[in-house]
Amino acid sequence: MAVQRRFKRMLIDDRDEFLLLQLGEMEIWDGADLALLREALFHLIDHENSPAIVIDMQFVKYIPSGFFGMLYDWQEKCGTWFALTPPQPNVQRMLWFRQFFRLSAEGLYEMLPEPSEALIPTEANSEAYLSSQTA
């Protein structure tokens, strides 16, 4: 049975295996939402030693660019396991999402410790490109 509690305007479901963070039905997250999430994660990870956190993304169509980097930093520094509920297609098309998340058997998108695929060239050769454009 999940126990619910609040952190400011965020609802936290305390599940057996993880904490589920919910910011409501907002479609667009801005810098203030990211700051709230950062503050909540600091409290949950640093003070409560929460090892596993799922963030509800079902309504989200836009997130600030620092969102994925923030999760990656927490994962790398503290070993926290992160997952997302299935987000809207706009978020699923973002580079960070495509590289660092994979769909689990439970229907959550788990964050990977390393990128799963290279979506950009590993060796850029601008000289070859520029010389081909002037020929």
Is the predicted pLDDT of residue 117 greater than 80, yes or no?
no
Please give the residue that has the higher pLDDT: either 50 or 6: 50
- Would you place residue 100 in the very low, low, confident or very high pLDDT band (cuts 50, 70, 90)? very high
Please state, for a pLDDT cut of 90, what percent of the chain lies above it.
Answer: 53
* Confidence (pLDDT) at 122: 41
In the chain, how many domains are there? 1
CA distance 12 to 21: 5
* C-alpha distance across the termini of the chain, in Å: 68
Encoded amino acid at 57, one letter:
M
* Confidence (pLDDT) at 16: 84
Q: How confident is the model over 10-47, as pLDDT tens digits?
A: 999 998 899 999 988 888 888 888 899 999 999 999 99
CATH number of the domain encompassing residue 30: 3.30.750.24
- Count Cβ atoms below 10 Å from residue 4 Cβ, excluding itself: 10
By the 8 A CB rule, do 108 and 85 touch?
Answer: yes
Determine the structural domain holding residue 74 and report its residue range: 3-134
Three-state SS at 51: coil
Q: How confident is the model over 51-74, as pLDDT tens digits?
A: 999 999 999 999 887 899 999 999
- Would you place residue 134 in the very low, low, confident or very high pLDDT band (cuts 50, 70, 90)? low
